[in-house]
């Protein structure tokens, strides 16, 4: 009996260590989707005049896309929200004009966006892959991806 209890304790200890701690205002499913994208699409160093930030865009048809922007936050978009980040999640901002993602975003914040805006004109033709998800309540289902022109 003691052995079984000990094994259960070890199992829960190991699995809880592997799970990413979400210290953001994003629900766990959205957080994990972004973390997965970031692992598959990292960037090393930003070239001069570039500013890398991950972007989540909510569409009227209850889909969202996740991509990496090499030119910072797009302030031409109405109501960009962010910057969401923690020890694991790199700088990410959200575009959700109609609050389609209200089940996925616990709190819409407007913090630190100005730190991720490129001040000078930037020519950067890098296009990173874009993953498209269908929103099903509080869950996301990958439905498509668009290949970019950046090679790893």
Model confidence pLDDT, tens digit, residues 65-88:
999 998 888 877 777 898 999 999
Residue 14, domain member (yes or no): no
Does residue 27 surpass a pLDDT of 80?
yes
Percentage of the chain beyond pLDDT 70 is 80
Residue 72, domain member (yes or no): yes
**Among 88, 112, 113, residue whose Cα is nearest residue 24:** 88
Residue 138, domain member (yes or no): yes
Domain around 101:
21-146
The mean pLDDT value for 46-67 works out to 88
Residue 65, domain member (yes or no): yes
Residue 139, domain member (yes or no): yes
Contact status, residue 52 vs residue 68, Cβ threshold 8 Å:
yes
Predicted local confidence at residue 118, as pLDDT: 80
Contact status, residue 123 vs residue 99, Cβ threshold 8 Å:
no
- Joined tokens for residue 9: 């304790």
Residue 79, domain member (yes or no): yes
- Joined tokens for residue 129: 């892959």
Contact status, residue 19 vs residue 82, Cβ threshold 8 Å:
no
Does residue 123 surpass a pLDDT of 50?
yes
Residue 9, domain member (yes or no): no
Residue 79: which region, alpha, beta or left (left: phi > 0; alpha: psi -120 to 50)?
left
Domain tally, the chain? 1
What is the pairing mode between strands 80-84 and 92-95?
antiparallel
Least confident of 2-11, 37-46, 100-109: 2-11
Is residue 11 very low, low, confident or very high in pLDDT (cuts 50, 70, 90)?
very low
Predicted local confidence at residue 15, as pLDDT: 42
The mean pLDDT value for 32-45 works out to 90
Residue 89, domain member (yes or no): yes
| Euclidean distance between CA atoms 122 and 116, whole angstroms | 13
Contact status, residue 60 vs residue 100, Cβ threshold 8 Å:
yes
Residue 31: which region, alpha, beta or left (left: phi > 0; alpha: psi -120 to 50)?
alpha
């Amino acid at each position: 009996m003691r052995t079984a209890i000990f094994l259960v304790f070890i199992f829960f200890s190991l699995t809880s260590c592997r799970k990413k701690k979400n210290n953001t205002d994003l629900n766990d499913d959205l957080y994990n989707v972004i973390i997965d994208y970031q692992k598959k699409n990292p960037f090393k160093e930003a070239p001069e005049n570039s500013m890398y930030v991950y972007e989540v865009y909510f569409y009227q048809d209850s889909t969202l896309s996740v991509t990496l922007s090499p030119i910072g936050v797009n302030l031409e978009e109405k109501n960009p929200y962010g910057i969401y980040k923690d020890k694991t999640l790199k700088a990410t901002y959200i575009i959700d004009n109609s609050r389609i993602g209200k089940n996925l975003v616990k709190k819409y914040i407007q913090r630190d966006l100005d730190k991720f805006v490129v001040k000078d004109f930037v020519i950067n033709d890098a296009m990173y892959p874009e993953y498209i998800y269908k929103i099903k309540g509080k869950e996301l289902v990958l439905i498509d991806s668009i290949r970019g022109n950046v090679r790893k």
